[in-house]
Structure 1
Amino acid sequence: MLWSIMGTIAAICTTVGFIPQIIRGIKTRELRDVSPVMLTLLLVGCSLWLVYGVHLKNPIIALANGFTLSFVMAILLLRSLFRRNRAKDSL
């Protein structure tokens, strides 16, 4: 029971940790300082953890990594959109 609670709290913390970056990016329309290599590694890692959690039928692992995966994809998408808009504005 204690381990399940600890795992849930850890999953919430690591998942919610991406939300401030998304909010900041939307407000400033700037995500140039976020490493695309780091985001790509997180994307691969979260995908693998998601598959692993589904395989184990562990909802904590699967849900946390599913949400984290969606947040990482959102940051990558926003980064790409903001980069494209900067390129248009400089023309």
Structure 2
Amino acid sequence: MNENILGIIAGVLTSISMIPQLIKVIKEKNVDDISLVMLIVLITGLSLWVWYGFIKDELPIILSNAFAVMVNISLLICYMIYKKS
């Protein structure tokens, strides 16, 4: 398999992996089972991958991880909105 195709498939799968969780949170308005620390660590790691992609000039790395950052920031925003005090 061509390494670019492999990278694109991996990027798409990892980028969309949190979308079902985001949809569930939006529908149920419940974030009790989500770890704030996990979200912050994940967003930080994904952001570093975006930075790495820019350093290496690798558009698939940049795009897939930037999309994943946006999805997870959306989840973080939902966390802040729906978290019970």
**TM-score interval, smaller chain:** over 0.9
* Equivalent pairs, count: 85
Partner of 2:16: 16
SS at structure 2 position matched to 1:6: helix
List 4+ stretches of structure 1 deviating above 3 A. Answer: none
Alignment TM-score, normalising by the size of structure 2: 0.94
Bigger radius of gyration among the two = 1
Unmatched runs of 5 consecutive residues or more in structure 1: none
Partner of 1:79: 79
Q: Distance in 2 between matches of 1:13 and 1:32?
A: 25
Alignment TM-score, normalising by the size of structure 1: 0.88
Unmatched runs of 5 consecutive residues or more in structure 2: none
Partner of 1:43: 43
RMSD: 1.2
